[in-house]
Structure 1
Amino acid sequence: MKEKTRTSVRIAILAMPETSASVVYGMYDMFMSAGRDWGLIVEGAPGVAPFAPQVVSRHGASLVAANNVRITPDATLDACAHADVVCVPELMVAPGEALEGRFAQEIDCLRSCYADGKILATACSGAILLAEAGLLDGHEATTHWAFCDLMTRRYPAVKVRRHRALVASGDGQRLIMAGGGTSWLDLALYLIARLAGVEIAMQTARINLVVWNDVGQQPFARLARTRQVEDAVIARCQAWIAGHYAEASPVAAMVQLSGLPERSFKRRFQQATGMSPLVYVHTLRLEEAKQMLESNQQPIEAIANEVGYEDASFFNRLFRRSVCLTPAQYRRKFGAMRLALDGGG
């Protein structure tokens, strides 16, 4: 019997009493969202999820995390042998606290997984486990700023890069570390980009309102395309405008394509999509402009023209009103994010 091809990347997220439930389940949710939720929101049907995460712990039994939230793991550490990636959240221990023998089983598991060719990824102070395992000797590393001096003193063979937000090192760059309290977001996006593609990582960031290596949430414009609707006439117009939004007088062209009186067309379009035809066109144009601002260095005026706006000042005002950032601000934030994710692919 022919073996079934496995398509999902299996990710084990390590839970311990010293971890925070928000990080454990936050990473779980981020990996589950990738590839799935964009299709659900944009097209009305979930996409194929490229990841299969599960929470693992030493004994697989329910445990109370460092923030007093109960975690119920899916499996024991033995499940890591079948994973492609093992993620270590932060360790809520005081810098300098004795660790000898405290995480012996977890460290043995990490050593075995690395020897088997798996990716090991840590957030915040979780990199201490990799150092305790001896896996960082001779390699670059990063961790939370409060642990950098400790790592330098306790593990002198490790090349600590305290100002780096994310470091990938080791054989095949399979040791991945992100520093900072909310660095698990950066870590998850990096892994999504590396293992499933930059576009899926960017979609995941937008849906979850994540900004690469920044603090807080940033507003996003509405998604470019609502799902195709049951109204076949409007669905046909949606399909047409997706490739012709930059043309002059696109609403008039859709009215003509629909064969409906203008008033009837606008009413049915609003009912089907939740937007007026003009707002829908602007949303498509701005979404395309965002993609271009993220991925290239064309002048903003050229981007405005390419998506259908002859007046660059009008484009700037519309973009800022919709996205709450100027095009230049958006490029600085999300262009850097795409570049960082691309570089990690």
Structure 2
Amino acid sequence: MPPSPPPLRIRIVATPDSTATPLAGLYESLSTVEGLTAPEDRLRADRRPFDVAIVAEQAGILTTASGLAITAHESIDDAEEVDVVIVPSMAFGRDEEWTAGRYPRLVRWLREAYERGAVLCSACTGANLTAETGLLDGHHATVHWISERDFQRRHPDVVLRPDEVLVVSGDGGRLITSGAATAWHDLALHLVATYVGPATALAAARFLLIQFHQDGQTPFQVFDPPSDHGDAAVLAAQRAIDDRYAIAAPVDEMVRASGLAPRTFARRFKAATGLTPIAYVQHIRVERAKRLLEASGEPIDDISWAVGYEDPAAFRRLFKRLTSLTPGAYRQRFRLPALGAAA
């Protein structure tokens, strides 16, 4: 009988900007797979599936962005033979931007690992670091939806797909990116399904109580229109409609507030916000409807009327187009729960 192949060498990158939960979660979930291998996948994994370790510029204790300490098992200088590299989430706030050029040694190591044949993965805002390698240019990728505008501005050659939770791209599918926050679950399950087997991925999901986010990031996104575009007339229109979105002629109200001619307004509004005026109003209305669905038990037809739509069917179609879920499905998923289970 031929000897079993060695375990897949997975290295998870830690930096002072790393967030501890996804870093530790990826390490622990991938390490757990050894005891969960499904019988259907035995022929593919009759061995220890993964050799998982945390790497950093230097081995030893490292303090992450939240102040929690993580132990890096290896330095990048000692981690030349790698099959899969994962860059987990990095922490920076809603109003902050990624600081490029902070980790030139890591960027060089990531690029060299990929050139030697490794699969390069990132979770959430970790894509900011992997994008500095230049390897994502010309390829599809995803990132935390809140970072979309900043990421696209700095990396215009990356084909960004912010609605997707997991994107597999590159030569041989060796560039893998996952979206916001707990989308690292999807990344971990994808690696298990690919390198061990789908039945084992399902067993891991059941054991760890995690799952694929099959509807993508769209249901979770919050409409956050830009207001720092510098166009005072457009900003006046945005403010005018913010609380009057349900009126019968919202675009006319925006034009009046801007003081511009209709054609000039439409052109400047699209340039400033990236949306046509009517599309902007639709996003505002659906965002308000989402809050009502989450916090109330009002009938959907009443919510449709409250946000400005007399035709509930038209509202339902629009809602699904913008969120990927029907209003009823959205309420079922995001309705504010009671605390704890009733006895």
TM-score range, shorter chain: 0.5 to 0.7
Q: Distance in 1 between matches of 2:164 and 2:36?
A: 30
> Shift in Å at residue 38 of structure 1?
5.9
* Cα deviation code 1:243-296 (max 9, x no counterpart): xxxxxxxxxxxxxxxxxxxxxxxxxxxxxxxxxxxxxxxxxxxxxxxxxxxxxx
3-state SS in 1 of match to 2:194: helix
Whole-angstrom CA distance in 2 between matches of 1:27 and 1:5: 25
Alignment partners' CA distance in 1, 2:37 and 2:114: 32
Instruction: Please tell me whether the aligned partners of residues 96 and 150 of structure 1 are also in contact (alpha carbons under 8 angstroms).
Output: no
SS across alignment from 2:80: helix
Match of 2:73 in 1: 74
**2:148 aligned residue:** 148
- SS of the residue 2:122 aligns to: strand
Q: Residue in 1 aligned with 2:14?
A: 15
Q: Is residue 153 of structure 2 the alignment partner of residue 134 of structure 1?
A: no
Q: How big is the shift at 1:49?
A: 3.1
Aligned residue number for residue 50 of structure 1 = 49
Number of the residue aligned with 1:178: 178
Task: Measure how far apart 1:101 and its partner are.
Answer: 2.4
Paired residues of 1:142 and 1:160 also in contact (CA < 8 A): yes
Residue aligned with 2:10, SS:
strand
Going from structure 1 to structure 2, the CA distance change for 1:98 and 1:87 (only over 3 Å counts) comes to: closer
Q: TM-score, normalised by structure 2?
A: 0.57
Q: Residues 33-92 of structure 1: CA distance to partner in whole angstroms, max 9, x if unpaired? A: 1141468xxxxxxx8430110011111131111111111111101243211100110011
User: Residue type matched to 1:10 in 2?
Assistant: R
Gaps of 5+ in 1: 40-46, 216-328, 334-345
Alpha carbons 1:139, 1:159 under 8 Å: kept? yes
d(CA) in 2 for partners of 1:130 and 1:156?
Answer: 14
Amino acid at match of 1:15: A
Of 3-12 and 142-151, deviating more is 3-12
Paired AA for residue 53 in structure 1: V
2:92–2:98 contact (8 Å) kept in structure 1: no
Q: Which residue of 2 aligns with 1:210?
A: 210
Identity %: 36
Q: How does 1:153-232 map to 2 (within 5 A)?
A: 153-213=153-213
Residue equivalent to 1:61:
60
TM-score w.r.t. structure 1 length?
Answer: 0.57
- Give 1:205 shift: 0.7
Shift of 1:23: 1.5
**2:115: which partner in 1?**
115
The whole-number CA distance in structure 1 between the counterparts of 2:14 and 2:55 is: 6
Distance 1:37 1:4, change over 3 A: closer
The 5 A counterparts of 1:238-317 are none
Please give the alpha-carbon distance, in whole angstroms, between the structure 1 residues aligned to 2:27 and 2:205: 14
Is the 8 Å Cα contact of residues 86 and 121 (structure 2) preserved in structure 1?
A: yes
Task: Structure 2: give runs of 5+ residues left out of the alignment.
Answer: 39-45, 216-328, 334-343
Give the partner amino acid of 2:129. L
Secondary structure at the counterpart of residue 81 of structure 1: coil
Note closer, same or farther for the CA distance 1:129–1:163 as it changes in structure 2 (3 Å cut): same
Q: Is the 8 A contact 1:56 1:79 kept in 2?
A: no
Task: Supply the RMSD in Å over aligned alpha carbons.
Answer: 2.5
User: Could you say what secondary structure the match of 1:18 adopts?
Assistant: coil
> 2:122 matched to 1:92?
no
Give the direction of change, closer, same or farther, for the CA distance of 1:119–1:38 in structure 2 (3 Å limit). closer
Contact 2:97 2:150 in 1 (8 A): no
